[in-house]
Structure 1
Amino acid sequence: MLYHPKWSKAKKLLMSFICDSLRSRVDFKVINYRKAHDQLGRAVITVDKVEVLNMCTITAEREEYYRERDIRIQLNDFTYDSVSNVREIQDRAHEQLRLEGIYGQYDFFTALETYFNSPIEDSLKSNDILLKILCLLDRRVGKRTLRKMKESIKEENTLVQYFYKLRCDSQNIH
């Protein structure tokens, strides 16, 4: 599943939302492996040309397999006849990965789709780490909103905390 609309157009739109103080420091890259069976690869968020978040499809799918196996061991359920049961276990495994900050390229595209099509206020309240990161970089999130988040951000994933600190430092919010 390659991203539609074209990644170049989506990236241009995404970069237009990045706050001025971080526009030259933050970048998004999508690397597709043409010879891979599904042509998916990874999506990367860099800060000052250093990879901060690598969303590799192969890594995510491998980790999801291990989480599914662990859930099956925990439940002592090794049947595969019920589609709904298999789906439920897959969903639980995928949710565990999202909470740990392990993403595939497809997760990045899903977050982008939501980000582009939802009000910034809703996205900022989301439990999705990727969505929150995109919002923290967004110029529409002002200093007042960032200051209000000071306490609640301590409860967030370390990646969200990193991008919050990056944004606040870039705008001298202490």
Structure 2
Amino acid sequence: MSWSKLKQNLESFLCPALNGRVEYRATSYRYLLGKSGDCYITVDKKNVLNMSDTTTSIRWYQTDQEIKNDPNILIPVNNEEIEAIRKESKGAVPEDRLQVMARSRKISVHAKELLLVQAALSKSNFTVAATTFLSTSIEENLESNDILLNILALVDRRVGKKRILNMSEQIKLKHPAVQFFYELRRSTM
């Protein structure tokens, strides 16, 4: 599919409040061998998400320690996870420390997942991801671990107000790029 047709299809699915504010752009380098074009998403004419540039306003993590120390990431811990640590330690760990240990384990797994997804995005081909988005259901795109599929689904008109509002806890565990577009969509309601 040509870029112009793909762009037209993507923009036809934008929610009405973001129509004209969110744009999909691409550059190509016809005469430079080995240099592929860049694709990026702009919001209000500002480059917000560039697949090959980490200097945008969205936070990109370099190490898992940055994720673990980020105060904006809130990892909820449930009673089953605390009980699992209590059983492993055979009751030798104080109660207040159990929650800290459970959160630490959970955020370590989360940090690895975020870095993996972020690395996949920087190498991804926007047109492949956009084609995948157009050919799969909106539910699959929202549940996907792919940052780009999540973003395209969040700005989609098929995702209603109630669903957006119910996703607030789920979004806290997503990459800051996904959180940015979630807040953008919420601000239009």
Q: Does 1:103 align with 2:99?
A: no
Q: Counterparts in 2 of 1:14-93, with a 5 A limit?
A: 14-56=10-52
Any stretches of 5+ residues in structure 1 without a counterpart?
Answer: 58-94
Of 35-44 and 137-146, more deviation after overlay is shown by: 35-44
Instruction: Tell me, in whole angstroms, the C-alpha distance in 1 between the residues paired with 2:128 and 2:122.
Output: 11
Instruction: Tell me, in whole angstroms, the C-alpha distance in 1 between the residues paired with 2:179 and 2:151.
Output: 9
Number of the residue aligned with 2:174: 156
Instruction: Tell me, in whole angstroms, the C-alpha distance in 2 between the residues paired with 1:170 and 1:34.
Output: 38
Instruction: Tell me, in whole angstroms, the C-alpha distance in 1 between the residues paired with 2:51 and 2:173.
Output: 23
Amino acid at match of 2:147: I
Number of the residue aligned with 1:75: none
| SS of alignment partner, residue 172 of structure 2 | helix
- Which runs of structure 1 show a deviation greater than 6 angstroms over 4 or more consecutive aligned residues? none
Instruction: Tell me, in whole angstroms, the C-alpha distance in 1 between the residues paired with 2:139 and 2:121.
Output: 24
Instruction: Tell me, in whole angstroms, the C-alpha distance in 2 between the residues paired with 1:15 and 1:116.
Output: 11
What TM-score, normalized to structure 2? 0.63
Instruction: Tell me, in whole angstroms, the C-alpha distance in 2 between the residues paired with 1:7 and 1:97.
Output: 27
| Contact 1:41–1:56 under 8 Å retained in 2 | no
Q: Does 1:170 align with 2:175?
A: no
| % identical aligned pairs | 43
Any stretches of 5+ residues in structure 2 without a counterpart?
Answer: 54-113
| Contact 2:38–2:52 under 8 Å retained in 1 | yes
Q: 1:97 to 1:36 in 2, by over 3 A?
A: farther
Larger radius of gyration: 2
CA deviation profile, 1:46-89 (whole Å, cap 9, x unmatched):
000000011239xxxxxxxxxxxxxxxxxxxxxxxxxxxxxxxx
1:39 Cα deviation after fit:
4.9
Report the aligned-residue RMSD.
1.9
Number of the residue aligned with 1:12: 8
